[in-house]
Amino acid sequence: MPSQTIAIANDHGALALKEHMVTYLKSKGHKILDLGVNGPESVDYPDFGYKLAEALKNGKATRGMLLCGSGIGISIAANRFSEIRAALVHDVTGARLSREHNDANVIVFGGRMIGPDLCQECSDAFLSTSFEGGRHQGRVDKLSNPPV
Ligand code: RB5
């Protein structure tokens, strides 16, 4: 899988899993842009979802990884940006489909929901799978242009 710059951000609900994944991704040759949080203090997950969304929007990374306790809140935060397609994933099939069908640019995990080994496998699938395009392209385009 080609080396990429991956932005990563989390809240206190997933610090241990984030630290594990930073080490793992670096061992695979990826460059990591770690946007925190890097201590045990209680923080607000929207702040970290927004930081990561801004980093991708500004071209500082090609892919993102977000983690909070459930993965839910930080997904909602990041998906408020039209440039972000953040997929909360619990298994390898979901990770693969998030790329093939949805062209997801951010993968999301719940630190209280998934273990480190499965998280690594999901991450590998996410980073090595291409978007299929074709019939999926128009659908993905519509995600960037919701009716107001
Ligand atoms: C923090 O306790 C928790 O609410 C947060 O990590 C996340 O699960 C929110 O969706």
What are the residue boundaries of the structural domains of the chain, listed by start?
5-144
Q: What pLDDT was estimated at residue 13?
A: 98
Give yes or no: 136 in active site.
no
Q: What is the CATH number of domain 5-144?
A: 3.40.1400.10
Residues 116 and 123: their CA atoms lie apart, in Å, by 10
Give yes or no: 68 in active site.
yes
Nearest atom within ligand 1 for CA of residue 14: 6
User: Which residue has a Cα nearest atom 7 of ligand 1?
Assistant: 69
Is residue 2 scored above 80 in pLDDT?
no
Q: What is the pLDDT of residues 134-145, one digit of tens each?
A: 999 999 999 999
Instruction: Give ∠ CA 54-33-69 in degrees, rounded to 5.
Output: 75
Q: What is the pLDDT of residues 22-32, one digit of tens each?
A: 999 999 999 99
